[in-house]
Every structure is written in C-alpha cells, then in structure tokens.
Amino acid sequence: MKEEQVYVLDLTAALAYLKDEPGGAQVQELLRERKEKHGTEVHLTAVDYGRAYSSCASEKSREVRDELLKKLQELPVNIVVVNKKISVEAARLHAEHRQSFPAFSDALPCAVALIADGKVVTASPSSFPGLEEELELFRVGL
C-alpha cells in the first residue's frame, strides 16, 4: 500500500464494516492502519453517509439500530461534501457507464476517487464493470 494513497469507501464497503458483513474486517483494518499512520486518510461521501445512516436506522431491533448508528458516528473517515466538480465527474461516469451506476449516487465515490487519484473500496464483487482502466478498485470480502 502506498503511504500517500487515498481511499474512498463506497456504500457497500461502509455497510460491510458497520454490519460485520463479508469484507468488513478488511475495511476495519484499512481504517485502523490509515488512522494510525496518517490521521484520517479514508473518505466517504456525505451522500453515502446518509445512505448508510438510513440503512442502519431501518433495523428493526432498537438495540442493533442504536449500536450501528453509534458505530457509524464514530467511523474514522473524512466526510466529503459533494461539490460542483464532484457532481460533474459523477454525472460523466453515470452517463458513460450506466451499467456500472444504476443510480447517480453510486457514481459519487468513484468521482471522488478519480479526482483525488485514489482507490474506491467496495464490497461488491460485480460493481463497476468496464471501469477497470479508468478507476482503481480495492475489493474487500471476496
């Protein structure tokens, strides 16, 4: 792993960590390592933070819901607010790679990674087909 490497979690990676799903331990290790060596060098878009919050808040068990929301609030990441530059890059990706991005919001972490010359961390085995030449992926849980 390069010391200066930027990592951007997508929603699947964030949820894998939060809900202890496959790949969650790898995300946890990445977060720990990056925080110890660099402060916080892992990013999550504000949109995906909200989507993760919604997913955690939807848990039926109050105990599980409260635990997940606490873990989310303590997530050691930089929250990236979506600005015009990110929006335009995400729109380009969404328009050119519809099969990879069913929803516009799915393109946001990829746009952040491309702008920052970073990697997208994903727990989805089939995300982003056709983007391998344009985008570096760090797949977890496979």
Instruction: Please write the tens of the pLDDT for every residue from 12-63.
Output: 999 999 999 999 999 999 999 988 887 667 999 999 999 999 999 998 898 9
CA distance 30 to 68: 19
What is the longest distance spanned by two Cα atoms in the chain?
A: 43
Domain locations in the chain?
A: 7-139
Element (H, E) at 37: helix 24-38
Token pair for 79? 């929250």
Q: What local confidence, expressed as pLDDT, does residue 1 receive?
A: 43
CB atoms within 10 A of CB 26: 19
What is 7-139's CATH number, 3.40.50.300, 3.30.479.10, 3.40.50.1010, 3.60.15.30?
A: 3.40.50.1010
- Its sign, for the CA torsion 36, 74, 78, 7, is positive
